[in-house]
Amino acid sequence: MAINVVLVEPEIPQNTGNIVRTCAAVGANLHLVKPLGFSVEDRYLKRAGLDYWDKANIKYYDSFNELRDKYKEHTFYYSTTKAQNTYADVRYPEDCFIVFGKETAGLPEELLRENREWCIRIPMKNDIRSLNLSNSVAVVVYEVLRQSNFAGLVTCGKLSKYTW
């Protein structure tokens, strides 16, 4: 199953580096919407992504509208703490896009209002503001993969060099 992770104006290089590593590990496409709060040459970004940069499919956009216009026929889900549906309530279609906002502000309120039925959240205690962005991406991406029975990934029953 093809998965597309979208980061809208990410601010923290270590989070984006960790997300690069997650996307490389599962074959997800990463779409970065500018402005970025760091340089892609940032040493913290590179360190967090380790040596996975060449294994990740990363695309850059000047605006979210540019990305949406390019993929008009695809389904977009918007991760927010304000959604009614949890990420596990959704049956994700092939080649969907999971959109995450910047660490300090999330996604724009107007975008969330316009797409209320496509908003998803990760359940957590009421007095907690949010989860770390890279953790949130991993939680949702692995749910999408679980629904496809981890298609295209090595599972425990198929390991060879790591079995004991």
Q: b/e per residue, 26-48, with b = 16+ CB within 10 A?
A: bbbbbbbbeebbbeeebeebbeb
Confidence of residue 161 (pLDDT cuts 50, 70, 90): low
Binding residues for S-adenosyl-L-methionine: 101, 122, 130
pLDDT at 14: 87
| Span 21-47, average pLDDT | 85
Q: Hey, what domains does the chain have and what are their CATH numbers?
A: 3-158 (3.40.1280.10)
3-state SS assignment for residue 104: coil
Indicate if the pLDDT at residue 114 is higher than 60: yes
pLDDT at 48: 57
pLDDT at 158: 55
Provide φ and ψ at 71, rounded to 5°.
Answer: -120, 50
What's the mean per-residue pLDDT of the chain?
A: 90
- In angstroms, the CA 120 to CA 68 distance is 18
Binding residues: 101, 122, 130
pTM, entire model: 0.90
Torsion sign (Cα): 44, 48, 51, 55: negative
pLDDT at 65: 97
pLDDT at 7: 98
Q: Say which residue the tokens 């760091």 belong to.
A: 38
pLDDT in tens, 42-96: 666 666 555 677 889 999 999 999 999 999 999 999 999 999 999 999 999 999 9
- In angstroms, the CA 35 to CA 22 distance is 22
